[in-house]
Structure 1
Amino acid sequence: MRVVIVGAGEVGSNIASSLADAHDVVVVDVDADRVEELNYSLDVLAIQGDGASIETLEEAGVGDADLLIASTDHDETNLATCGTSKVLGEAFTIARVKQVGFLRTWERTSSAFGVDFMVCSNLLTAEDIVQIIGLPAAVDVEWFANGLVQMAEFELGPDSPLVGQTVSEADQFEFLTFAAVLRNGDVELARGDSTLAAGERVVVIGPPERVHQFALTASPAAASDDTESVFVVGGGEIGYQTARLLQERGINPRLIEEDPERAREVAESLSKTLVLQFDATDTDALERENFDSADAVVAALESDQENLLVSLLAKRLGVKQTIAVVETGEYRDVFEAVGVDVAVNPRVVTAEEITRITREETTEKLTFIEDDRAEVIEVEVSPDSALAGVPIRESIPKLPAGVVVGAIARQRDLVSPRGDTVIEVGDHVVLFVDAAIAEEITAAI
């Protein structure tokens, strides 16, 4: 497949990296230094130019492309790029936007803007945040199989009862699969005799109730049965969408917004959200609102520095769970290293969604682990799949090393993935896969 990616920032570069091994990829960017870097580091053709220009798109070969991905940081540029590409050929177009308004317009008619599929960074980020809230011990959470299956990543603190246990000893929950252990920057498939240590992270896959039970076991002090008190700091698009989604889940959050006009707009739109108009670093105001007793605080302000400050203040005051939006990808590990529980990068979330769309024929859903070193994917098993009709203990050894069957959904029921389990045609299977073999695995199944 020939793919043209316009925009070589964090989103475009991540997508290019995930597609370069299996496809003919061309990347377009206005930054000459970035273009030179990509030509050196990835097996792609990177060219300098304005992606919304018809001349640049002609040079990139959009007329012969199968897929065009517009992933710059400017919504209007991405929409113009998709519209221009339709003049040159019939490439399937994917546009990244930040403003939900563009998504709502596009949803009314699939032909709007010349875009075949639209991904909204702000909405995806809010959805990611809301998934994490409620599992305070988790640093990443994703849903699969229409909500039947949950993938969660947990960091083991020094006081975790699991520290010192082997994976076999810790694996005491029906239908729950230990997929991997993340230690020293490496992703290791879970082995029964592997001993768990403080600071390591474990990835588990299973039904939500079992994942929740595991959370309570992995970190009894941090996990709780119910999340009721949530503060969202920042009334921008991500903060607004987070509060709206929390309302839909039956959680009525409190939202702090310093700007009076924006606070009034949010209050008028979100009937079940209490909007508080003050500076989120005003400790006296926070004390009056019982900020310190919150189950979760979401920092969704306009800058990474502000979000870090609010998150650290929340932890100092005793908040159980802090989630911060981090626009700069390299800061994400720094945030978590200094005490923020979860750092969510909108660009990484967007890259995951767009990569999933590029594999749409075989992949129902996809998420990255440890900055794309591994993937968790959901596939619907076809008649010619290597998994169909044989026990797992026979099918998996025939695939490249680095894959674990995490869960099997058969219609609305879960089937335990054991060695003698036979996967049937039509089953939805959730797999943990080493990123190096992801394309090969999806082609085989």
Structure 2
Amino acid sequence: MRVVVCGAGIGGLSLAHALSRHVEVVVVERDVTAADTGGYRISIDDEACRALGRLLPGALLDEVRSLSDTGSAFEQFTIADSRLRPIVVAPEPAGQDRILAQRQLLRVLLARDITATIRFGSTVRAVSQDQYGAAVTLTDGSVIEGDLVVAADGADSAVVASILGRSPTRDLGLTGIAGWTPLSDASPPGYLRRGPALAFGPDGTGVFLSLHHPPATPTADPLIAGLLGEPALIWGTITRSSRLTPTRDAAAEALVHQATTLLDRWSPWLRERVSHSDASRTAAFRFRAVDPAGPIAGWTPGVVTALGDAIHAMPPTGGRGASTAICDAADLARAVDDHLQGAPLDQVLARYQRRIVPRARSAVRDSLGPVRVINALRHRPARLLARPVLNAAGALGAWRYRDAR
């Protein structure tokens, strides 16, 4: 059996590891290397950690843990105001497994041992299927045939659009700019030492914040060591796309400048950190999502299916995209195993697509919550009301928690 995985993201690579034990796997990826990705943080929740235990070799998962932040790095999640005063501090449930991984590093680790199966620099143009299998056509005109094609190519999936005749996602009108700033000269707000935060400004700008702590044990791999870097603040601004000049082909330095400008009335500490970000680790992306009340995986499966954002795109504001994709990959790997044991492929894929829908709807709804807050503040009356409310909440939070800069 040959499986063609379109997309070498976290979900696609995790699936490739599991399937390669039993079948031939070809991964098609438009990026030239695994390191070609943006700087947002990856949060892997308890369910997804268990799924990774089924998908990855044990030694690889141990390495991922050793090079990521675990334990006290995510004891709580904080909602803050534009001065970085905590408004709400929500503890995480006790006993939960959690990994906070740097996206670029995680992708490099997952790709490293299966590089021979990955065709980097290859972009999917279309996919076709019939009773004999499926064919993936690349933009260079070449064709890759397979018994099963998996769309793992993100929120605007060319594979899913080929099957449905349209994209199942919509542009939310929001753009994120994410970056990485070394922290060597000033201490961050205290609550960030115990978990990430999402801050809101009265103008409808949001900022995700998280700390990166390099592992105490050094690594001999120079590429991995370079990606680990030094202690850093990982940040991501979120605002209406109309407030930014086009970011699609913008230089990294221009993205840093735009993000800094958005924070003009924010915490001086944060604005200073963002202005000195590493431009090479700064990227921009549009937010897309499916309608959580609409059809998800709404096609009769033949020999093409999908996972992650390709099938149920969600904005990163809920921190659930990677975890959901990993859980999809585990469910799909189990479906392929059932097929190898004799179950018809279309039947196991139908069960897989039904199984992932409840989890996907929940994750998309949670992720759209902060988006609704940001969108509500696009209206002037809401902004005028938000300013005193956020100021009062921030002042109360600062008094209660006394750990914010």
Q: Tell me the TM-score normalized by structure 2.
A: 0.28
The structure carrying a bigger helix percent of its residues is 2
Q: Tell me the TM-score normalized by structure 1.
A: 0.26
Q: Which has the larger radius of gyration?
A: 1
Bigger RCO (CA 8 Å, 6+ sep)? 2
